[in-house]
Amino acid sequence: MAKIGDTLKPFSTQAYKQGKFVPVTDADVGGKWAIFFFYPADFTFVCPTELEDLAGIYPTLQKMGVEVYSVSTDTHFSHKAWHDSSPAIGKIDFFMLGDQNHTLATNFDVLRDGQGLADRATFVVDPQGVIQLMEITSEGVGRNAAELLRKVKAAQYVAAHPDEVCPAKWEEGEQTLAPSLELVGKI
Amino acid sequence: MAKIGDTLKPFSTQAYKQGKFVPVTDADVGGKWAIFFFYPADFTFVCPTELEDLAGIYPTLQKMGVEVYSVSTDTHFSHKAWHDSSPAIGKIDFFMLGDQNHTLATNFDVLRDGQGLADRATFVVDPQGVIQLMEITSEGVGRNAAELLRKVKAAQYVAAHPDEVCPAKWEEGEQTLAPSLELVGKI
Amino acid sequence: MAKIGDTLKPFSTQAYKQGKFVPVTDADVGGKWAIFFFYPADFTFVCPTELEDLAGIYPTLQKMGVEVYSVSTDTHFSHKAWHDSSPAIGKIDFFMLGDQNHTLATNFDVLRDGQGLADRATFVVDPQGVIQLMEITSEGVGRNAAELLRKVKAAQYVAAHPDEVCPAKWEEGEQTLAPSLELVGKI
Amino acid sequence: MAKIGDTLKPFSTQAYKQGKFVPVTDADVGGKWAIFFFYPADFTFVCPTELEDLAGIYPTLQKMGVEVYSVSTDTHFSHKAWHDSSPAIGKIDFFMLGDQNHTLATNFDVLRDGQGLADRATFVVDPQGVIQLMEITSEGVGRNAAELLRKVKAAQYVAAHPDEVCPAKWEEGEQTLAPSLELVGKI
Amino acid sequence: MAKIGDTLKPFSTQAYKQGKFVPVTDADVGGKWAIFFFYPADFTFVCPTELEDLAGIYPTLQKMGVEVYSVSTDTHFSHKAWHDSSPAIGKIDFFMLGDQNHTLATNFDVLRDGQGLADRATFVVDPQGVIQLMEITSEGVGRNAAELLRKVKAAQYVAAHPDEVCPAKWEEGEQTLAPSLELVGKI
Amino acid sequence: MAKIGDTLKPFSTQAYKQGKFVPVTDADVGGKWAIFFFYPADFTFVCPTELEDLAGIYPTLQKMGVEVYSVSTDTHFSHKAWHDSSPAIGKIDFFMLGDQNHTLATNFDVLRDGQGLADRATFVVDPQGVIQLMEITSEGVGRNAAELLRKVKAAQYVAAHPDEVCPAKWEEGEQTLAPSLELVGKI
Amino acid sequence: MAKIGDTLKPFSTQAYKQGKFVPVTDADVGGKWAIFFFYPADFTFVCPTELEDLAGIYPTLQKMGVEVYSVSTDTHFSHKAWHDSSPAIGKIDFFMLGDQNHTLATNFDVLRDGQGLADRATFVVDPQGVIQLMEITSEGVGRNAAELLRKVKAAQYVAAHPDEVCPAKWEEGEQTLAPSLELVGKI
Amino acid sequence: MAKIGDTLKPFSTQAYKQGKFVPVTDADVGGKWAIFFFYPADFTFVCPTELEDLAGIYPTLQKMGVEVYSVSTDTHFSHKAWHDSSPAIGKIDFFMLGDQNHTLATNFDVLRDGQGLADRATFVVDPQGVIQLMEITSEGVGRNAAELLRKVKAAQYVAAHPDEVCPAKWEEGEQTLAPSLELVGKI
Amino acid sequence: MAKIGDTLKPFSTQAYKQGKFVPVTDADVGGKWAIFFFYPADFTFVCPTELEDLAGIYPTLQKMGVEVYSVSTDTHFSHKAWHDSSPAIGKIDFFMLGDQNHTLATNFDVLRDGQGLADRATFVVDPQGVIQLMEITSEGVGRNAAELLRKVKAAQYVAAHPDEVCPAKWEEGEQTLAPSLELVGKI
Amino acid sequence: MAKIGDTLKPFSTQAYKQGKFVPVTDADVGGKWAIFFFYPADFTFVCPTELEDLAGIYPTLQKMGVEVYSVSTDTHFSHKAWHDSSPAIGKIDFFMLGDQNHTLATNFDVLRDGQGLADRATFVVDPQGVIQLMEITSEGVGRNAAELLRKVKAAQYVAAHPDEVCPAKWEEGEQTLAPSLELVGKI
């Protein structure tokens, strides 16, 4: 599996985005924060609730300079057909990547053995293409966009303030910690 | 890295727990839900806030039949010394595993190359020893015990109700989904 | 690529057939004549015309004891969604196999390198699981169900009459040839 | 086996053509559309009916700029002797390639194991040497020159009109399809 | 190449013999003296003169208990067609083996590299399947059946009289030599 | 074994020739026709009759520009001693090569396994060092110098007349054949 | 294991020294005599008595130009916490190296299999980085700083006087030996 | 190198002991404490002072149940000659092992590269054949028998009292430590 | 090369001995002392003087129970011819082994690279087939049968008296040495 | 083992020679004739009688330009001690090489397996470093310096007179042989 600190590997695929088919490669991703949001399959059950939840925070993420890429092993043709027919999916404005060639699922090592479907996995990548956060849940457990937003904010904060760290359950605006010799063994 | 669906690998180590040194092996873990909560090092900064946060939900987890194991590459001697000297750590009643031999960090593939320290990684394992949830954050980003609790509850719910799944941001008591042919393409 | 005379390799997948999801394996295929009809992707262009053409001869094939399996690298969820939304595809009564794991496309060696899509390929398999006929066309060239029907009839004829062979463009009811020493060099 | 999209491999052999022995190599083939028409053996049964059928469309193919090469593992000496003695074969004006060295049958992977004879296989190659169409039938099943002609016309059409594709059972002069985003899921 | 003293390797093929197609294997050859007479191709130039020459001594060889097998990389179909059309070849009563699979030419290592044709090679095999004599000439040089007959007689003589040897240019009825210590250095 | 068409391999040895010891290498052989005449051992039985037979045609061969090299695995010392003591061998004027190092017998692959003796083998090499004729007989069967002479003449004839070939049992002065398309299947 | 005469291998780690965290690499060690003093773990039993014993001779060693590095597989964070809380360890002024990455223990081959702890091992390295003395005791046996001091003095003496050697139990100021041919067999 | 905790490897050699040549193998060593005392060469300089020093404590060691084996790469013949001629060596009553085959020096990995001489190395092995203590000094630095005796006593003490450990510079009769949870971080 | 203490390897060859050809194998050699006396070639220069010298001591050796085998890479035919024609060689009554297959020269590793001739080498083998003595001289240096006899007698003496050894230049009847501890360093 | 014609391999060691320790390498040996005289061990039994015998011819050898090197696997220290204490060895003026590193015994392949001792082996090397003579006897058989002297003289003679060879048991001043064609088979 991709590990924290690993760098984004090369890929090249087609996406459906706001009524168009557009090519997307790893080169397009660089330079901004990015979320890769894997799910098992179009036209299924937990997936659309998660994608709709994610669609809800997309405007906020865009303001924070974060791009979003949802990924399944379906084609971009299938993504468009789903977008056309599902009210929940119809709300999506971010990139829906076709990964029928399994490149992305293999790059991040989230392809389920013998199923041809990706795990329910989230990866947050910084502008240098380095993985900073990751989360995976099993088939029946939906993720939480609000918690993802909290962690992306924390990751952006420590990237901007290299001498500070964010403690447990830190929310934007709360106090951070500045590591120092004096703090050793004192917390 | 350990993947969703992988089975717990063998280990054997010493833990500090409530004033005693006790041996713990993979055999001791089986049969109950378990959380493995890795952090980089004793006597540091973000770690105690996360461990204290986790200590806060330990009574609830115990009632749910979930055991907790914190892990760093320090020894059990060091864990005891930290527990003796830190007010935050002093609140911990769960198992603090010594992993100075790097067995657990290697088993879960969260040992940072060239540092000898574990990532800030959480793994939830079911009573059959199968990994159901995982989450990893980079050095400066603290985790959130409340979100962990939400996901453990969802995982236990779907384990108990194999025909239902929990949608995005599901909280205990909310409605779940029952996958069926009729639902295909309808959400 | 699978060659004439090769035997069907093992597979196990889900199909959409007449409003139901059903599991299909190589064991289910044996004992009858079978057509594997690969196409690149659901929701595309040439594919539905070919599938509709094939649907037209399906009643005849069924009377001849021939089962039909269409295959693409889409999921059975996607097949159902397409069947629900497309008038042409809605006419299909045969098995639509999900091959998102690429098992069948790899077994028959018709997976296009780097695309994750199958070729436009037809394989006719006899009741012993042996490939008797095959045909592949490039992306933009549609196949012809009538010619496929002609060849399946010829293959069934020679299977039933081991001492006879069917000459070029043979149609059901026309004369066949009986190879013999006397015929050598005489045709 | 040679796959759709593969490029013609090198060969060098002798052919019999209209009363002469002529050398033929892969370099001679390039720049025009070409049909490689394999059959098991000279002086046998189904083969001459197929070759005669093919001879019937040769004038049309020549007008379309398509060259024809029949191939068996016999020598060019044998081809001439057959041409001299058989009325059916005597009608042939195209190249009859000697492949007693098995180079062509191996290049296209149609040599039957342990027999030294080629399959009943047709390959259509475009002027760039790329395989566009292929068809193989088992021993007793003759091919159909008319259907071959239909497919070659379709292949030439889509080569000339890159934005169009030919639907199932398309005949020259019939309507084609122009793939577009709007057509996704609409056929 | 097969060496003097090597044993006949397994083969299985079809022969044309006196108006019939008959299967021939290495098992059929055993128990009698045998001549394998390779030549490049049916319907060519030197070959028929050699085969006709060989046909002339066939009655004598038969009386001596010697079977004859001519071999080229043509099929048995081609052998029959040649036998039907050529006056010289029409005289042949021995086995004409089809070796289009190259098994015999490879067994005796007389397949010309890159040509798919056999050398002009003769092998005499004794009833135990052991090669006793061999001769190969280049493309344009015809063999001599009379000399072959002389050598087969000599080989049969020494097989029957293990204590004697046949000197240079020995003819049937001439004196032989009995090797002994006294003869050492005396001839 | 050396095959027809193979080129002479390097060697360097000592020969006995007309009362002298002379070094001979492959470089000395080039530029003329050459006969390599292997036999098992000095001081034995069939060998001297063959060598004496060969000595009889040596003057004719010399006029034809053909050099002769007899070869056994004995030393040149042994060759001289044999030449001194045997009336038959005393007639030899050609080169008697010492091959106690087994180089030549290995180069031509005629060393009998486990015996350290060469086969009774003749190789005719053209001025370009290419093997044109070969013959091997088993232990007790003597060769025939007259037949060797006939074949060398034929080989020289076709080398000089590249458009002609010598039919079976051709003798100097007899008619040859000129291969042409018209002759195919006509002999 | 590092052998006498081996050269110090590369390392890079963090040390606690007199209230500060400082980076230390092999490059920092060179140019002076150095003692690497391994022990199993912070906060344990024999270790602090040995470290306190060593602390007692540190001023003398400093005057002799010898630097001291204690090493365990604990972190520098743990070393500081131990230094803060233990009276014995609080006396230490030399470098306490963190080796949680096992680099130094592996370099000197003193990592106990399966324990993640170092042996109780001492290495004395000269200014050229060459190991001159080594000593290892099992778990329960403490070392002796006075004997270490005696040996370091002897090693420095022979480094300064290349023609002399120090006999058994030599103490500073006692007589040494000057090896010479005359002494051979005389002691 | 042999490590603490390694087991004695097999060897078989000749020793000189008190006027006799006796065979010694690893089997003879087992069941008692043993000291292997390597030194570079007979008839040299530091070595005899060390061996004489060791001879001084041999009676004490014998009472403690400890056997002593000195080892160099000289033969037992050389050991006897040295014992006969040197007053210092003449005092030795323990086993002097001949290791000219380098077996022991290789077993303990103390053979100096390219010299054929052993290091100045001491190994203490317990009755189970397990190495408990080791010490090596460079060429010019003599060891100290008194310190060796101190450590052997400590090793025997902890072997006899598994719950106690000997602190730094412990001498026989002094207080030991009993490790316990309460002691963690308290020394 | 065969070493002192190696055992005779298998061989099987023909010998010339007193007017007869006899087979000799390693099994024939066992049970007696044997001398293998290699020389380069029959009919050469130093060799016959050495063989004649050896022939002179053969009666004595026979009385001592020692068999003699001379060996060159010539055949037994050549040995007989040499024995017939040379007065010196005619005196030989021992076995003259033919080694044209190089088996013995290779077994004893005395085949000269690239020459096919054996070295001038003597090996003395005891009744158990073990090599006890060996001697090799370069091309132009003859051996000395008297010295060989002296050494064979010494070897037989020590075989018969295991507690005694023969000093330098010992002759039959002279005093031997009995090794003992007292003799160490006293000679 | 080193063979006749092999070249001296590199070595570097210490020797005892006439009261001094001197370094000796292969470079020192070149340019003169040299004798390497291996023996098992210092202070043993046959060895000193052989070395004393060799010492007796050393003045003569020196006049002939031949240097002598005795070699055992003992050290140069041991050689000196033996030289000091043994009357026989005390007579030695040549080089006594220490080979405790086994380099020379391995170079000449005379190290006895599992003993660490050299064979009783003599090698004579010419000024070009090429081995010309060799002799090895088993443990209990002493060599003979007089015979060694005879052979060295013969080797020097043929080196000086390349057209002559020394017959068996040749002594200085006796007649030699001049090989020629006329002599073949005449001795």
Binary contact (J142, I166; C-beta < 8 A): yes
Distance to chain H for G182, nearest Cα, Å:
10
Distance to chain A for G104, nearest Cα, Å:
24
Encode pLDDT of E27-52 as tens digits: 999 999 999 999 999 999 888 999 99
H22: nearest CA in chain I? Answer: I181
Binary contact (G78, B73; C-beta < 8 A): no
Q: Please tell me the CATH superfamily of domain F12-183, with its number.
A: Glutaredoxin (3.40.30.10)
Q: Which residues of B are catalytic?
A: 47
CA nearest neighbour of H36 among H80, H6, H77: H6
Mean pLDDT, rounded, for G61-85:
96
pLDDT attached to residue E1: 58
- Running along chain I, 187 residues long, what does each successive block of 10 average in pLDDT? 88 96 96 97 90 97 98 96 93 97 96 94 97 94 96 97 93 90 74
Nearest to A116 among C41, C44, C101 (CB): C101
Confidence band (pLDDT; 50, 70, 90) for E78? Answer: very high
CB-CB neighbors (< 8 A) of E42 in chain D = 75, 77-78, 81
The kind and range of the H/E element at A97 are strand A95-98
What 3-state DSSP class applies to H57? helix
H131: nearest CA in chain G? Answer: G138
Confidence band (pLDDT; 50, 70, 90) for D1? Answer: low
Beta strands in H52-179 (DSSP E): 66-72, 95-98, 120-125, 131-137
Please give the Cα distance from G101 to G120 (Å, whole number): 18
Residue J180 has pLDDT above 90, yes or no: no
Q: What is the 3-state secondary structure (H, E, C) of chain I?
A: CCCCCCECCCCEEEEEECCEEEEEEHHHHCCCEEEEEECCCCCCCHHHHHHHHHHHHHHHHHHCCEEEEEEECCCHHHHHHHHHHCCCHHHCCCEEEECCCCHHHHHCCCECCCCCCECEEEEEECCCCEEEEEEEECCCECCCHHHHHHHHHHHHHHHHCCCCEECCCCCCCCCCECCCHHHCCCC
Confidence band (pLDDT; 50, 70, 90) for J47? Answer: confident
| Rg of the Cα atoms in chain I | 17
CA nearest neighbour of J50 among J161, J146, J159, J185: J146
How many beta carbons lie within 10 A of that of residue G114, not counting itself? Answer: 9
Please give the Cα distance from F114 to F125 (Å, whole number): 28
Nearest to B43 among G77, G100, G114 (CB): G77
Encode pLDDT of G53-69 as tens digits: 999 999 999 999 999 99
- Contact (CB, 8 A) for C78 and A40: no
- Contact (CB, 8 A) for B129 and B26: yes
G116: nearest CA in chain B? Answer: B101
pLDDT attached to residue A1: 58
Tokens (6 digits) for H5: 């905790």
Encode pLDDT of C34-59 as tens digits: 999 999 999 998 889 999 999 999 99
Confidence band (pLDDT; 50, 70, 90) for J144? Answer: very high
How many beta carbons lie within 10 A of that of residue E3, not counting itself? Answer: 17
Binary contact (J185, F19; C-beta < 8 A): no
Q: Which residues of C are catalytic?
A: 47
Task: CATH number for E12-141: choose from 2.60.40.290, 3.40.50.1980, 3.30.70.3270, 3.40.30.10.
Answer: 3.40.30.10
Distance to chain I for J165, nearest Cα, Å:
4
Looking at every residue in chain J, the average pLDDT score rounds to 94
Mean pLDDT, rounded, for A83-94:
94
Binary contact (G81, A181; C-beta < 8 A): no
Confidence band (pLDDT; 50, 70, 90) for G1? Answer: low
Residue J1 has pLDDT above 70, yes or no: no
Question: Which residues in I have their CB inside 8 Å of a CB on H?
Answer: 181, 184-185
CB-CB neighbors (< 8 A) of B113 in chain A = 5
The neighbours of chain G, by the rule of 3 or more Cβ pairs under 8 Å, are: A, B, H, J
Mean pLDDT, rounded, for A169-184:
87
| Residue segments in chain B with a per-residue pLDDT below the cut of 70 | 1
Distance to chain G for H181, nearest Cα, Å:
9
Say which of E35, E47, E117, E118 is annotated catalytic. E47
Q: Would you list the domain boundaries of chain A?
A: 12-162
Encode pLDDT of F35-72 as tens digits: 999 999 999 988 899 999 999 999 999 999 999 999 99
Q: Which numeric CATH code is attached to G12-143?
A: 3.40.30.10
Residue E2 has pLDDT above 90, yes or no: no
According to CATH, the topology of domain I12-162 is Glutaredoxin (3.40.30)
J5: nearest CA in chain I? Answer: I138
Q: What is the 3-state secondary structure (H, E, C) of chain J?
A: CCCCCCECCCCEEEEEECCEEEEEEHHHHCCCEEEEEECCCCCCCHHHHHHHHHHHHHHHHHHCCEEEEEEECCCHHHHHHHHHHCHHHHCCCCEEEECCCCHHHHHCCCECCCCCCECEEEEEECCCCEEEEEEEECCCECCCHHHHHHHHHHHHHHHHCCCCEECCCCCCCCCCECCCHHHCCCC
pLDDT attached to residue I1: 58
Mean pLDDT, rounded, for J85-101:
95
Tell me which DSSP letter residue D48 carries.
Answer: H
Binary contact (D145, C169; C-beta < 8 A): yes
The neighbours of chain C, by the rule of 3 or more Cβ pairs under 8 Å, are: A, B, D, E
Please give the Cα distance from D71 to G65 (Å, whole number): 90
- Length of chain J equals 187
Please give the Cα distance from A176 to A168 (Å, whole number): 10
Q: In this predicted complex, what is the ipTM? A: 0.86
Binary contact (I73, F100; C-beta < 8 A): yes
Binary contact (G141, H134; C-beta < 8 A): no
Q: Which of J184, J186, J187 to mutate to test the interface with F (most CBs of F within 10 A)?
A: J184
CA nearest neighbour of G139 among H133, H161, H127, H160: H133
Distance to chain B for C77, nearest Cα, Å:
7
E187: nearest CA in chain I? Answer: I81
Confidence band (pLDDT; 50, 70, 90) for C174? Answer: very high
Q: Which numeric CATH code is attached to B12-161?
A: 3.40.30.10
Looking at every residue in chain A, the average pLDDT score rounds to 94
Mean pLDDT, rounded, for J129-133:
97
Residue A5 has pLDDT above 70, yes or no: yes
- Contact (CB, 8 A) for F40 and F47: yes
Tell me which DSSP letter residue H11 carries.
Answer: -
